Structure 1
Amino acid sequence: MFTGIVEERGEIVARDDLDQAARFSIRGPLVTSDARHGDSIAVNGVCLTVVDIADGVFTVDVMAETLRRSSLSHLLPGSMVNLERAMPANGRFGGHVVQGHVDGVGEIEFITPAEHWTVVRIKVPAQLSRYIVEKGSITIDGTSLTVSAVGPECIEVSLIPTTLAETILGLAQTGDPVNLEVDVIAKYVERLTQADRAETGTRAAQKASDDDE
């Protein structure tokens, strides 16, 4: 599990395209300082498993399903990425509950700089809109952010100078794809509500059948 507090901006130093997969080598001196084989590191919000570490560079394997469902397919040597180690059990919970399971890919529509913050508007997939609320939490490229506005199939977030300086969102441009993970609590609530409605419908149908006998 992660919290969406990016620890450093890493750099893709190598990419090897394999059969139905890709292998990335990523420079991240901070996140590799105590990393071991098998550890989880979020790369632009995607939970990946460390398969090798050497001299501040770690290697991960990314299967085709992950490449298809995230923006990692766009990464090339020289690309900058957000990095976060998995949260330790005794760590600070600085952001919100982040699983590292991308729900969809959005697209940056507008970037509007202001004196003390920058407003970013992002087009979101239609199927994710119902999980997003104003002042709620969302993960964008692994960064825990508060939604400042919600529109038809788009959202806005406001980025402070620290976020711009310490995450790749400070390098973002209009048209860039971004990984989105909505609040997992909203998904569980929806699932439980659907199950409850289905159970209620089943009981009602059974009662009607009993009454007809």
Structure 2
Amino acid sequence: MFTGIVEEVGTVVAVDRSQDARLTLRGPVVTDGVRDGDSIAVDGVCLTVTSSGGDGVFTADVMPETLRRTTLGGLEPGAPVNLERAVRADGRLDGHLVQGHVDGVGELVSRTPGARWDDLEIRLPRELARYVAEKGSVTVSGVSLTVTHVGDDTFGVSLIPTTLDATTLGRLRPGDPVNLEVDVVAKYVERLLGSEGRR
């Protein structure tokens, strides 16, 4: 489980596609105290650490399903990625409950700079739109954000200076893909209400 509060922007060191994919990434903050088998969210995708060294570098295997359903399949060496370690049970939950299970890939439609923040419009798959609500939470490439408005197949978010500086979202340009994870609570509510209706 994660919070969507990015700890650092790491870097893709290598991509091995000889057997599905193995990513090697550099992140000195998230690798502090990390052990094989620990979970690290990479651009919002929960990955299991398969090996780590003392130099801030770790590797993770990526399944074909993950490559198909996320932006990780397009990563190349040198690419920046948002990194977050799994939250500790005794830690602070500053964002919202994030599983690291990406629901789909969206696209940045537009970016409007403000005096101290940027407003972003993001297109999402229509089947995910019902889970996004104004003032609700959504995860964009691993970043927990508050939804400012919702359209038929788009939604808006505003990025404060800290988010612009401390995540990859400050570098996004229109047309760029983003990983999206909707609020898991909304999905469970829909499932439960659907079950009630079938009784």
TM-score computed with the length of structure 2 as normaliser: 0.98
Query: Structure 2: any 5+ residue segments left out of the alignment?
Result: none
Query: Map of 1:29-178 to 2, 5 A cutoff?
Result: 29-54=28-53, 55-178=55-178
Distance 1:83 1:107 in 2: 20
Greater share of helix: 1
Distance 1:179 1:47 in 2: 12
Aligned to 2:11: 11
Distance 1:11 1:185 in 2: 31
1:34, CA displacement in angstroms?
A: 1.0
**Counterpart AA for 1:127:** E
Aligned to 1:209: none
Distance 1:13 1:193 in 2: 45
Distance 1:172 1:57 in 2: 25
Distance 2:136 2:9 in 1: 25
| Structure 2 SS opposite 1:41 | strand
1:174, CA displacement in angstroms?
A: 0.9
**Counterpart AA for 2:25:** I
Aligned pair count reads 198
**Counterpart AA for 1:101:** H
Distance 1:133 1:31 in 2: 31
Measured against aligned partners, the alpha-carbon deviations of 1:148-181 in whole angstroms (never above 9, x if no partner) come to 0111200010000100000000111111100000
| Structure 2 SS opposite 1:112 | strand
Q: Which runs of 4+ in 1 moved over 2 A?
A: none
**Counterpart AA for 2:15:** R
1:130, CA displacement in angstroms?
A: 0.3
